Structure formats: structure tokens, C-alpha cells
Chain A
Amino acid sequence: MVPMFSASRIIKSSLFLLLAGGIISFNSCKKDDESATESVPLTPYSIDIPHGFPEPYLNADNPMTVEGIDMGHHFYYDPILSENGMRCTSCHFPNRSFSGLPYTTPAGDDIDIPPHVNLAWNPDYDWDGGIHMLDSLPLGDFAPQFFNTNMMALRQRLTASDYYSEMFKKVYHVTNFYSLTDDQLKMDIVKTIAQYLRSMVSANSKYDRYKLDHSVFTPSELNGYLIFMTEKGDCFHCHGDPLFTINQNKNNGLECNPTGINQGAYLITGIETDKGKFSVPTLRNIEFTAPYMHDGRFQTLEEVVEFYNSGVCQSSPNIDPIMTKPAKIYGLQLFDWEKADLVAFLKTLSDTTFMNNPNFANPF
């Protein structure tokens, strides 16, 4: 079985520390508390929930700890997991809010690489919303077409690393990487990455400051905000405040006759009424995550806005009723300056303090 920390164990051990005031040695602790077998107790981590954000989706089986996050942070940037030098940041670029350029599948489809921002608030992942568990999501990266990981060679590399040897001892009480099965080792690794991903919170954009102090917007940004948040542009029904996604699957009318990957959630569920629907993406840091849409079909925000302005296919199957309002049938009819205002507003969702946060920077 994978050694795991239960939340109660962490509370117990930190409570004990508190009581003991660091005087009583861990030997006496062992006598009283059979669960305190770790050499050093882990430090529980709780997400600082930004104003207006709901409770994040956490996993009781994978409680966040400072140590777990640190290890996940290292794995995220470390080619140690792969046989080919690849790492998460080979595709998820830090200076693009951890998004990337489209990945071309063996079948020849382009799939845009989504950003990592506020993932703790996503109930499902990937463009088609097909993955529901962040804790196991990165398992796919060990596959031959990505990291091509050789698990025996990985054990050797981890054993040779002082950092990972020490951290595995701390976090999982594992002293011997060979005592774990391949699946256990992979799971232990990706769980720490998931902890790290959950710690990546962005809520310090110009827009967030606008909400606190209504003075910071330029006239153009303010007008864009009004277009976005009113029926005129009507973006808010899907990209609602404060996450800028309602985290549901919707069809925004990209394709009149979706085939191949454009069928979206239908490919997961096989339900006809899911055809053309994609998990609404967050627009936080959208300035940095070009190209746009699941296949990266739009290179700029101007192109995206022009799509919503004049390119929506009203007859797309299952197009969201919000997209087919009479005022939208002939497009949004925005003037050029209004389109520019909408783009200006979208750029107020940029949070450079997030991308420059040392907690998310390359730790090596």
C-alpha cells in the first residue's frame, strides 16, 4: 500500500509539537502516538482563498503540505522524470502562464496546451472536460510519446538524487524506491505535482484591483468591462466572475458541423447533446496564452473577439442558447473601437505577479 498521510495524522502530529513545545523528543512521541513514525512532521498547507472565490476542490487523500508542494514544484521543472529531457515546462511555459503552443497528436490533430492557473477550482480538466481528477492527471505524461519514462532508470536517478531521496523519506517514509511498484511510484510523484498545481493561485490582476478600488481602469478598459459584463457582449454568462469560467461544458459555435476533435465532450460521453461542447476555459492571464481555443485556431485576442463578433455558427449543434440571442444572430455588431475595448479589458485579467512569483519559478 502507498504510505499516505491522513489529514488527522498531520493535525495530530502538529498538535503534538504544539503541546510538546519541542522539548519532548520524538522517541516519547512514538510511545504515545503510534502514527508519528515520520522523522519530521509535515507542514500542512492551506490555500489562501481570494475574495469571492468559492472553496477549492481538494482531495482528502492527498492533503497539501509545504513539503509535498515543494517536491511537486521540483518535479514540474525537472527532466528527471523523462528519458528524453522533457519536463512539464517543455510544453507548459512559465512566461505564458504555463500554457503552450499546440501539441500535434500522432493522429495529426492540434491540441492547444492550456495554462495552469487556479486549477484548484476546476472540477474537470482538459478541453473536453474529460478528466475529473487532478491528482492522477499527470500520469499520462510518463507515456512513450511524452516522457517515455523507463521506471527502472527513474528509480536509479531518484536514488542518486539527495533532494528526492530526502523528500520521499519526509513525505512518504520511502527510503527505497525499489520497494514501490511502478504504479505506486508514479502515483506518489504525480500527487505532489497535483499539490503544487493547486497552490498556483492567481487573483492579483488589474481587474482584481479594479474590484477593490474602482479607479484603476482606463476609459477603454472600463468600456470593455461593460461590454463583457452586460448583454452587449454577453461574455459573463460563461466566463463569469471571479474565475472567468463557469466550469461547465458549452458549445460557443466554433463549427457548423463538428467532426474529429471538434466534437469535444461528445468524444468522451458519446451523448449527442454533448457534440461541440468544450469545458469553458478561464480567461485569467489570457493575454499570455495564445493561440486560442482547443485547437489554437486563433492567434490573437483580436481574432477571438472578431469570432464572437461575426464568426459564430448559429446552426452549430447544441450551440448554447446564450449564443443565439436575436441580438447575436447577425453578430454582436461591435464597432472597431468597441472590439479594441473588449481586448483591453481581457488584458486587465493579466497577473504578472503570478507568473513572476518565485514560488512558481524554476527551483533549479
Chain B
Amino acid sequence: MKKLVLVLVLVSLFSCKKDATDFVDPTPTTSNVKVQITYNVDGEAVVFDTVRYTTPSGLPFSVVTVNYFLSNIYLIKSDSSNVKLADYFYGDGRDLTSTLDVSSIAIGNYIGIKFNIGVDSAHNIVDGLPATVDYNNMIWPEALGGGYHFLKFEGYFTDAGVNYGYAMHLGKNPNLVPVVLYHSISVSGTTSAINLKMNLNEWLKNPSIYDFNTDGNYSMMNDAAMQKLSENGTDVFSF
């Protein structure tokens, strides 16, 4: 036993020494990337529950829930090849501390970022993602086809003085939202921050106005509504 301990101590001493004397590469080739997402309504930072904003169709609304997935997240290189950042990311608008942190991304200048809003079809199946609390709460019931919600955007709106709820839920493979954002991104130093913004009102406009009254304040089981949200979703993100 003592011998074993001795060997362990020696090994650890040795490895300590090695670490200390390792030469430091003067030109690191990779950097850690931190993608931080913030939320706004036409430029106004989102305050959950209390503040009322105005939808593109003119209805005062508040925000209670913004939960969504991103999948297949890549940086785009100038030769238009891609460097993968992550397979998927779960975003919660209430939790600004949850960032996408990726280590060892090649240093250099990238011309943009691309991803899907939602879960790619390969993972959008029963048990397609690991069972975590957040992922489980996005489950699209097996009875409805299985997979995951791509987006849950919920709150309240008022129309003619009456308060209503709304819930924009998005799911199903055809409604996956492709996002490509061209913007020069420099990956350098120890950590490179990429700051993205989600404008919630962009879900409700561009190319088509989504009006809670006419398109439905709930998108569930409403393919036309989900398709509209999906089409509007391509430009909810910006730098």
C-alpha cells in the first residue's frame, strides 16, 4: 500500500513538474467562444411578466415564457465552409446567464453564423435528446408525433380592454427555422464573445403580420399559424 501511495505521489509530482516546465505556445491557435443571447421587443429589452409592449398588429402584450432550441450551430468561414459550435442549445429568455460556451474554436475571422431554431429532424424524435429537466419540459408528446417543441413563446395581450393569453408554440420538422446571419466575427484571444439578439416582435412580422386576433392566439394544432411563425422566424435573430 505504501509503495502504491509513493508511486502515486511520484507520478503526480512528475506531472506537476512537467506542467510547470511545458513551454507556452506564443501563438495560440484556438479560442473559447461564448454565444450570449439577449431578448428585446423592437429594441426594448424584455422585462418579463410586467411590461406591456405592442405587437405589429397593435395589441398590447406581455411576455411570460420564451423557451426554444437552436440546433446545428456553425460559424461560417470566408470560403463558406463551416466550423461546428454545437449540435444544440436550449435557450430560456428569463435566464441570461445561460450561454453557449464552446472551447477550442480555431482563431480567425469568420463571416457569419448559422443554425436552426428548433431541433433538427434527426433528433426531433422520442428520446432524441438527453433527458434533462429543460429538454423534458420541451417534449412534444409522442401522441402528437413525438420530438420537441422548437419554441414556446407565451404571455398575455389585451384587446378592447379584455385580457387574453397567447401561446406561440412551434414544432414539427417542416417548421424548423433556418437562420443565417452574415456578420464579421473575429475569434481571438482567450474568449471571444458573440452577442446575438432575439427581437420577439419579429416572430409576428416579416414577411407576414401575425395577428393574435385573426391568426389565432394559440398556434397549437394550427398548421397555418405555425407555418407563418416559422417563416417569420428567420429574422428574429440579429447581431
Determine if A229 and B133 form an interchain contact, defined as CB atoms under 8 angstroms apart: no
Determine if B136 and A321 form an interchain contact, defined as CB atoms under 8 angstroms apart: no
Chain A 318-349: CB-based contact to B (< 8 A → 1; otherwise 0): 01111111100000000000000000000000
Determine if B1 and A273 form an interchain contact, defined as CB atoms under 8 angstroms apart: no
Instruction: Indicate whether A230 reaches chain B with its CB closer than 8 angstroms.
Output: yes
Please name all residues of chain A whose beta carbon is closer than 8 Å to the beta carbon of B2 when the two chains form the complex.
32
Which of A32, A240, A322 is B5 in contact with, Cβ under 8 Å?
Answer: A32
Instruction: Indicate whether B97 reaches chain A with its CB closer than 8 angstroms.
Output: no
Instruction: Indicate whether A270 reaches chain B with its CB closer than 8 angstroms.
Output: no
Which of B1, B50, B144, B216 is A32 in contact with, Cβ under 8 Å?
Answer: B1
Determine if B155 and A54 form an interchain contact, defined as CB atoms under 8 angstroms apart: no
Instruction: Indicate whether A65 reaches chain B with its CB closer than 8 angstroms.
Output: no
Determine if A54 and B133 form an interchain contact, defined as CB atoms under 8 angstroms apart: yes
Instruction: Indicate whether B165 reaches chain A with its CB closer than 8 angstroms.
Output: yes
Listed stretches B76-84, B105-113, B217-225; interface member = B217-225
Determine if A53 and B50 form an interchain contact, defined as CB atoms under 8 angstroms apart: no
Determine if B218 and A326 form an interchain contact, defined as CB atoms under 8 angstroms apart: yes
Instruction: Indicate whether A91 reaches chain B with its CB closer than 8 angstroms.
Output: no
**Given A321-B155, A321-B156, CB of A231 within 8 Å of CB of B221:** yes
Determine if B131 and A54 form an interchain contact, defined as CB atoms under 8 angstroms apart: yes
Q: Complex Cα distance A179/B50, Å?
A: 52
Instruction: Indicate whether B143 reaches chain A with its CB closer than 8 angstroms.
Output: yes
Determine if A247 and B133 form an interchain contact, defined as CB atoms under 8 angstroms apart: yes
Instruction: Indicate whether A241 reaches chain B with its CB closer than 8 angstroms.
Output: yes
Determine if B1 and A20 form an interchain contact, defined as CB atoms under 8 angstroms apart: yes
Please name all residues of chain B whose beta carbon is closer than 8 Å to the beta carbon of A162 when the two chains form the complex.
none
Determine if B131 and A53 form an interchain contact, defined as CB atoms under 8 angstroms apart: yes
Which residues of A235-282 have CB atoms within 8 Å of chain B's CB atoms?
A: 236, 240-243, 246-248, 273
Instruction: Indicate whether A226 reaches chain B with its CB closer than 8 angstroms.
Output: yes
Q: Complex Cα distance A241/B163, Å?
A: 30
Total interface residues on B, CB under 8 Å, equals: 33
Instruction: Indicate whether A98 reaches chain B with its CB closer than 8 angstroms.
Output: no
Instruction: Indicate whether B4 reaches chain A with its CB closer than 8 angstroms.
Output: yes
Which of B1, B132, B155, B218 is A325 in contact with, Cβ under 8 Å?
Answer: B218
For A29, give the chain B residue with the smallest CB separation.
B1
**Given A20-B1, A230-B144, A321-B166, CB of A52 within 8 Å of CB of B136:** yes
Q: Complex Cα distance A28/B135, Å?
A: 49
Which residues of A86-108 have CB atoms within 8 Å of chain B's CB atoms?
A: none
Instruction: Report B149 CB to chain A, min CB distance, Å.
Output: 9
Instruction: Indicate whether A361 reaches chain B with its CB closer than 8 angstroms.
Output: no
For B156, give the chain A residue with the smallest CB separation.
A321
Q: Complex Cα distance A323/B1, Å?
A: 65
Q: Complex Cα distance A34/B130, Å?
A: 40
Which of A19, A55, A229, A319 is B132 in contact with, Cβ under 8 Å?
Answer: A55
For B50, give the chain A residue with the smallest CB separation.
A273
Chain A 206-223: CB-based contact to B (< 8 A → 1; otherwise 0): 000001000000000000
For A235, give the chain B residue with the smallest CB separation.
B141
Instruction: Indicate whether B164 reaches chain A with its CB closer than 8 angstroms.
Output: yes
Instruction: Report B222 CB to chain A, min CB distance, Å.
Output: 9
Q: Complex Cα distance A248/B218, Å?
A: 21
For B127, give the chain A residue with the smallest CB separation.
A52
For B4, give the chain A residue with the smallest CB separation.
A19
Instruction: Indicate whether A24 reaches chain B with its CB closer than 8 angstroms.
Output: yes
Instruction: Indicate whether B229 reaches chain A with its CB closer than 8 angstroms.
Output: no
Determine if B132 and A54 form an interchain contact, defined as CB atoms under 8 angstroms apart: yes
Instruction: Indicate whether A225 reaches chain B with its CB closer than 8 angstroms.
Output: yes
Instruction: Indicate whether B85 reaches chain A with its CB closer than 8 angstroms.
Output: no
Determine if A229 and B136 form an interchain contact, defined as CB atoms under 8 angstroms apart: no
Determine if A241 and B139 form an interchain contact, defined as CB atoms under 8 angstroms apart: yes
For B165, give the chain A residue with the smallest CB separation.
A321
Q: Complex Cα distance A28/B217, Å?
A: 72
Instruction: Indicate whether B167 reaches chain A with its CB closer than 8 angstroms.
Output: yes
Which residues of A113-145 have CB atoms within 8 Å of chain B's CB atoms?
A: 121, 123
Instruction: Report B50 CB to chain A, min CB distance, Å.
Output: 7
Determine if B165 and A322 form an interchain contact, defined as CB atoms under 8 angstroms apart: yes
Determine if A24 and B133 form an interchain contact, defined as CB atoms under 8 angstroms apart: no
For A315, give the chain B residue with the smallest CB separation.
B163
For B2, give the chain A residue with the smallest CB separation.
A32
Instruction: Indicate whether B142 reaches chain A with its CB closer than 8 angstroms.
Output: yes
Chain A 169-181: CB-based contact to B (< 8 A → 1; otherwise 0): 0000000000000
Which of A32, A123, A248, A325 is B165 in contact with, Cβ under 8 Å?
Answer: A325
Instruction: Indicate whether B137 reaches chain A with its CB closer than 8 angstroms.
Output: yes
Q: Complex Cα distance A307/B51, Å?
A: 31
Please name all residues of chain B whose beta carbon is closer than 8 Å to the beta carbon of A225 when the two chains form the complex.
143
14 new A-B contacts at CB < 8 Å, known A322-B167, A326-B218: A19-B4, A20-B1, A28-B1, A54-B131, A54-B133, A55-B132, A211-B142, A226-B143, A229-B142, A231-B144, A236-B139, A241-B136, A241-B141, A321-B155
14 contacts between A and B (CB under 8 A): A19-B1, A52-B127, A53-B131, A54-B131, A54-B135, A231-B221, A236-B141, A241-B136, A241-B139, A273-B49, A321-B166, A324-B164, A324-B165, A325-B167
